[in-house]
Structure 1
Amino acid sequence: MRASVQGREPCDVLVVGAGGAGLAAATEAAAGGARVVLLEKNPRPGGTTALSVGSITVTRTPHQLRQGIKDSPAEHALDLAKINSRRGLPDNPELIRLLTENVPDTFRWLMELGLEFVGPLPEPPHSQSRMHCVLPTSNAYIARLAERAASLGVDLRCGFTAQSLVTEGARVTGVEGVDAAGRHERIHAAATVLTTGDFSGSAAMVEKYISADATKAIPVNPASTGDGHRMALALGARILNGQVALVAIRFPLPKRPPLMQSLPPLRLVARLMRIAYERLPEAIVRPFAMAFITSVLQPSQAIYEAGAILVNREGRRFGDETGDLALALSQQPGGAAFMLFDRRIAERFSRWPDFLSTAPGAGYAYVPDYRRHRRDLWHQGDTLEALARSLGVPGDALRKTVSEYNETAAGGKRGVLAEPPFCALGPLNTWLAFTDGGLAIDSALRVLDREDKPIPGLYAAGSVGQGGMLLDGHGHHIAWAFTSGRFAGRQAGAFAREAR
């Protein structure tokens, strides 16, 4: 039988989940004078934020001003709404406005904490360059926010798994869960903020809200199991846009990360990288920055439209690469495939605007970056037979596959694969990058019940508090995590002060 521990002295604000949103919420609440407890079920803080590319999309930054870019939150909101409209799904204009109007202040706050950024970088179809990349990696967010939280006296408790919300009448007064020692504990609080991420790591929720096929995708963050969603649903909350998710073909992390990736996200390293970006030629800085690839990266759809194909471990294609083959890939032998292209495509995707993927620090990665820094993925041969040997696939099958593709592609927009050397990257797998179904919330980030009434004492931020808002495009999830986290922390702190 597990030991049981009664709740300790109540806190003012209890934050559940120590990723980017949770650290921002805890820090902001503590800065307002609240006694804050921050729970994290993993051994250390980080969440999905620490696994991300780390880009943040924002307007009116010092970086934009230095480049003479005239931009505004209103233009950002307009662009984001247009990008989201491609899905044909309901959106949340009120939260889009909250995000775009407040993220400039969030960005300045991050800089004040000691974070370094480069940019802004263009990201069509945005009308202006708004994407800023944190240095050296997204782990810097966690390091700087954790330092600030500790300096404000936030009580961070790792290894605590929240299981249910505690209530008195209709009001939420804390959580029950299991601590790192396996003891059941009830923690009381005047206000509770859920920042538990999405539900991409919960097979049951993925099957319920998305599809059974989507459960075959590898979650980028297996620890994102919808804990906050589940606890709030038990009190009558509801999920909006639960069917929205990014199931995509991506490269895995290297099995043996380079030494550079083991370096802690030190302030000095980030500062030196930023100065180098500003003063040295990109050809000198880029190799150093690209050594910090720390996330699961997704190839640009443009490289398939240019003629790259996907082949499975049998050397065969399994569909039209210009469409969505993510779920089809999950059903291939070993759940893996290789991206095959020739010299024509390799040369084209070696410079802007034809990037191969996004990348931490540098913003975008090109074919030479993968050749140099992802040797575990790189394959090359002067003939298709030589490439097949490198891939470990049947040579006859690969040659037949390319021949059949060239017959159909001749004269078309994609182009044939005929110029040696022939190259391949892989294996690639099907990944579930994120789910966008968040709890219904109001403009104060209070969780709403089925009748759209606030559940007293309960707030949500980050992915769990996405409120039906769509966040297509790079840098918006990070922007929402920090902006909504700060806002929820302030709101929860004010609620706690009124409850004293």
Structure 2
Amino acid sequence: MDAVRTAPAVAGARRDGGTFDVIVVGAGGAGLAAAIEAQSLGRSTLLLEKAEKIGGTTGRSVGSVAATNTSHQIRKGIKDSPEEHLRDLGAFNAKLNLPGNPVFARMLVENVPDTFRWLEESGLEFFGPMTELPHRKQRMHNVIPDSRAYPFHLGRRARKLGVDIRTAAPVEELILEDGRVVGVVATIAGRATAFRARGGVVLSCGDYSADGKSRARHISPTMANVTPVNPYNTGDGHRMVEALGGRIINGHLHLSGLRFPPPPPKWYSRIPPYRPVARFMRWALENLPGVVTNRLITGFLTTVLVPSYKMFHEGAILVNARGERFTDETRDSAAEMGAQPDQKAYILLDGPLARKFSGYPYYVSTASGFSYASMEDYRQNRKDIFHEAPTLAGLAGQIGVPAAALEQTLATLNAERARDPKPGRPELKEGPYVALGPVRYYINFTDGGLAVNERLEVLGAGDRPVPGLYAAGLTGMGGVLLEGHGHHLGWVFTSGRIAARHAAYRVTTADLPEAGPAL
């Protein structure tokens, strides 16, 4: 099916789904923010979601938002500003050695404080702010109890305002009239259904992390078979815009790597993230010992957690189900992981190295709520993936790998490190030995977003704006670089709101002013 059709071409080929002021495609964080913003401005809004439930990648994320001038910073006596945030964001992005988009970077840092307050008004609770270098001030705010809270509270707000939300409704095409996008064609209950938009269509349908061909094309052929965190992110918005002559910026950028599985669900983890529950958890985090609260927080986690690569740079190794080391752990291991039995591995540390990872900056992973999880957090709260024994043979028995092979792997490793000692790469020869896992290789998301202008209008052939079409979130990155925790979600919610305001403005005004409406 073509990604773009003119109105006469689809006439008679689909049923009429009605007309709305604004249509939003994709009900992740950006789409929910866009739909709420448009509806709040008095515009009738349709939100179409490909999956059977809302939330998108946002609902599967760690859940942090980096922002300045928050009530959390003020309570801690932290004096901060968007200008300082912008400088620190530049320090994060410097390692990428890419030009970035300074206009969008400033748009983010100047608007995310208001977006953060908007999230709180929507019912979200946060803990923090927490430290993350090279931020010179604490800016990382972690959602409580976990990222499911975003679709829960934003979905409730959208429905209360009157947003028409349709799930299991993939959008297949854009409808054009005289070069302007005037609607979309979605599959509803197995039938092609056309919806028209008076103001505009906002594409917030994620990235292409779940499309093997796009991963191979934009990133690397070795990424073609990597498992995505969000299987619905198949690049639908990118495909439709490329059919209009649009382009993707920074297509190779992505977040991928080894991931721990989520913990087994506890009975209390099934409690919806009501605000009183989140407020109690926030109080507990601020007032009770970590040994008490971390167990509770861990029980609520539903996302795949990212092991810190600092463990590998300090000497930890990966072993497969045969007890063999199979890669240089300090480099990307996508191709090697795909070739291992069951595509799984274990992170192996000895006693001194395991004790080193006791908290920031030596942490095992980030996690919602308590930000940086230590080895002790995993020992106490993740017994499903934490394995410890005084001997290698004992550890091998726990994780089900051949003891002789594991012992030979460590003997070979230690001999190599003894011959060629390097800082941060010690021999692993003192018990108790620890194995974390199994871990698998996943791709979280791609940063290859569509080219858009300052109004978040999609740019088509010749980088000319496509009238009536906007993009936000991971779909509408526009070349902005967002290294560091909390910047992607900040952009997701902020860009969704801004795109919706421009789309809503076009409902009653034919010519958009150069500056456009601000948040």
TM over 0.5: yes
Contact kept? 1:327, 1:430, Cα under 8 Å: no
Deviation by residue 1:395-447 (Cα, 9 ceiling, x = unmatched): 11111111121223344322221221111011111111110000000111000
User: What is the deviation of 1:5?
Assistant: 4.6
CA contact (8 A) 2:145 2:301 kept: no
Match of 1:291 in 2: 299
Which deviates further from its counterpart, 344-353 or 428-437? 344-353
What is the Cα deviation at residue 499 of structure 1? Answer: 4.9
- 8 Å contact kept, 2:24–2:204: yes
Counterpart of 2:266, as a letter, is P
Q: 2:181 aligns with which of 172, 188, 191?
A: 172
Separation (CA, whole Å) in 2 of partners of 1:408 and 1:129: 41
1:291-310 superposed matches below 5 A: 291-310=299-318
Q: Is the 8 A contact 1:292 1:360 kept in 2?
A: no
Which residue number in structure 2 is paired with residue 258 of structure 1?
266
For 1:62, the aligned partner's letter is S
Which structure 2 residues correspond to residues 334-413 of structure 1 after superposition, within 5 A? 334-410=342-418, 411-413=421-423
Correspondence list, 1:408-447, <5 A: 408-410=416-418, 411-413=421-423, 414-447=425-458
The residue aligned with 1:44 is 53
Deviations 1:189-211, CA, capped at 9 Å, x for gaps = 02100000010001121111112
Q: Distance in 2 between matches of 1:340 and 1:4?
A: 58
CA distance in 1, matches of 2:152, 2:355: 38
Tell me whether 1:26 sits opposite 2:40 in the alignment: no
Please, which moves more after superposition, 3-12 or 135-144? 3-12
Instruction: Return 295-304 or 167-176, whichever deviates more.
Output: 295-304
Residue 329 (structure 2) pairs with residue 321 (structure 1): yes
Amino acid at match of 1:412: K
Q: Does the CA contact (< 8 Å) of 1:25 and 1:485 recur in 2?
A: yes
User: Aligned AA for 1:431?
Assistant: Y
Give the number of equivalent residue pairs.
Answer: 496
**Counterpart residue number, 1:209:** 218
For 1:300, give the aligned amino acid.
S
Counterpart contact for 1:290–1:362, Cα < 8 Å: no
- Distance in structure 2 (CA, Å) of the matches to 1:284 and 1:121: 19
In structure 1, list runs of 5 or more residues that go unmatched: none
Contact 1:462 1:485 in 2 (8 A): yes
Deviations 1:247-278 (A, max 9, x none): 21111234x42323322111111011112223
Maintained 8 Å contact 2:244/2:461: no
Pick from 482, 494, 505 the counterpart of residue 483 of structure 1.
Answer: 494
- Residue 275 of structure 1 pairs with residue 286 of structure 2: no
Residue 107 of structure 2: aligned partner: 98
TM superposition shift of 1:4: 6.0
SS at match of 1:41: coil
C-alpha distance in structure 1 between counterparts of 2:97 and 2:249, whole Å: 14
* Match in the other structure for 2:148: 139
Residues 315 and 398 of structure 1 are in contact (CA less than 8 Å); yes or no, is this contact kept in structure 2?
A: yes
Which amino acid in the other structure matches residue 368 of structure 2?
A: P
* Counterpart selection for 2:193 from 185, 188, 202: 185
More displaced 10-residue stretch of structure 1: 244-253 or 423-432: 244-253
CA distance in 2, matches of 1:20, 1:458: 19
Whole-Å separation in 2 of the counterparts to 1:344 and 1:8: 64
Residue pairs, 1:30-179, within 5 angstroms = 30-179=39-188
**Distance in 2 between residues matched to 1:295 and 1:328, nearest whole Å:** 24
Partner letter of residue 422 of structure 2?
G
The superposition leaves residues 44-95 of structure 1 with CA deviations (integer Å, 9 ceiling, x where unpaired) of: 1110000001011111111111112122111111111221121122311111
**For the Cα contact (< 8 Å) 1:18–1:40, is it kept in 2?**
yes
Distance 1:113 1:370 in 2: 32
In structure 2, how many angstroms separate the alpha carbons of the residues matched to 1:34 and 1:107? 23
Q: CA deviation at 1:296?
A: 1.0
Residue deviations 1:344-403 (CA, integer Å, cap 9, x gap)? 122221233311000011111111222233222122222111111112212111111111
In 2, are the aligned partners of 1:406 and 1:417 still within 8 Å (CA)? Answer: yes
After TM superposition, what 4+ stretches of structure 1 lie above 4 angstroms from structure 2?
none
SS in 2 for 1:339: strand
Q: Distance in 2 between matches of 1:376 and 1:40?
A: 34
Structure 2 letter corresponding to 1:459: Y
Q: Is the 8 A contact 1:294 1:360 kept in 2?
A: no
Aligned residue number for residue 472 of structure 1: 483
- The CA distance in 2 between the partners of 1:289 and 1:132, in whole Å, is 15
Q: CA RMSD in A?
A: 1.6
Partner Cα distance (1:177, 1:208) in 2: 26
Q: Secondary structure at the match of 1:163?
A: strand
3-state SS, counterpart of residue 8 of structure 1: strand
How high is the TM-score relative to the length of structure 2?
A: 0.93
Say which is worse superposed, 195-204 or 376-385, in terms of deviation.
376-385
What secondary structure is seen at the aligned counterpart in 1 of 2:89?
helix
The AA in structure 1 aligned to 2:398 is S
Task: Tell me how far apart the structure 2 counterparts of residues 380 and 282 of structure 1 sit (CA, whole Å).
Answer: 22
Alpha-carbon distance in structure 1 between the residues aligned to 2:157 and 2:65: 20
Identity fraction in percent: 48
Q: Cα offset for 1:216?
A: 2.0
Could you tell me how far 1:104 is from its partner in structure 2?
A: 0.3
Provide the rounded CA distance (Å) in 1 between the counterparts of 2:321 and 2:81: 49
Which residue type is aligned with residue 436 of structure 2? L
**Equivalent residue letter for 1:119:** G
C-alpha separation in 2, matches of 1:286 and 1:429: 24
- Tell me how far apart the structure 1 counterparts of residues 104 and 372 of structure 2 sit (CA, whole Å): 28
Structure 1's 4 and 376: CA in aligned 2 closer, same or farther, altered over 3 A? farther
- Could you state the TM-score of these two structures normalised by the residue count of structure 1? 0.96
SS in 2 for 1:289: helix
